[in-house]
Amino acid sequence: MTQLWAISAHDNGSYFLDEDKLTADDVCPVCGLLINHGFAPRSLEDFKAAGRDASSTYDNRLILSESLADFIQSNFPDEVDLVSLKAGRQAVFAVFPRAVAQVSESRTNIRRGDLCDVCVQYDYEMLPHPLCVKSASLEPGASFYRTNIEFGSNLGKRPLVVVTDAARRTLEASGFKGLEWIEVGCD
């Protein structure tokens, strides 16, 4: 059985999806949810990572230091897209895994809000505990995944970043600060 872990991190004092930075092409015209899932701001305001290599925005986007992003690119090539952001005078990176892990809805009780008829997204989807993904959905050889479901509410919805146990051990052994782990089950 495959062991997976969701990456978590303490907040860094900034918002990823500042409504002032979004355009009409980024959000649904009816419900206002994000439809441009590749959106990334040019900068993060009020960013305070306090010496951590991994942190999270208030709206739960995982943000990496330049050294951690370089490490992931070197050790897990072609697994993630990293988008450079400015945070004061430093460059930080938003991470978007390419492989998708399908959440096992039969083993996970997901609470949902209203469904938009236009963008076909729920206004909220509550993260269940424990989270379970379908092992059959995992791409062979991949180490980084994003969940097919975006958890949270309104503009705070985001997919979880999930890694294999081998990737977790590699990241832990590297000594990067701020990485926290939530165990994810597989069916």
Question: Is the CB of residue 155 less than 8 Å from the CB of residue 33?
Answer: yes
**Mean of pLDDT values over 146-155:** 84
The order of strands in the sheet holding 80-87 is 54-56, 62-65, 90-97, 80-87
DSSP 116-177: PTTT--BSEEEPPSS-EE-GGGSPTT--EEEEEEEEEEGGG-EEEEEEEHHHHHHHHHTT-S
Beta bridge partners of 150: 159
Both tokens assigned to 40:
């990334």
**Mean of pLDDT values over 168-183:** 94
What local confidence, expressed as pLDDT, does residue 74 receive? 95
Backbone angles phi, psi at 119, to 5 degrees: -95, -5
For 165, the domain range is 4-186
Number of domains in the chain: 1
pLDDT tens per residue across span 10-55: 888 887 877 777 888 888 999 888 888 777 777 777 777 778 999 9
Please give the Cα distance from 181 to 3 (Å, whole number). Answer: 12
Residues 60, 3, 77, 179: what is their CA dihedral angle, to the nearest 10 degrees? 40
Instruction: Examine the pLDDT at 94 and tell me if it is beyond 60.
Output: yes
pTM of the prediction?
0.85
Please give the Cα distance from 19 to 21 (Å, whole number). Answer: 5
Question: Is the CB of residue 105 less than 8 Å from the CB of residue 112?
Answer: no
Question: Is the CB of residue 159 less than 8 Å from the CB of residue 146?
Answer: yes
Question: Is the CB of residue 123 less than 8 Å from the CB of residue 152?
Answer: no
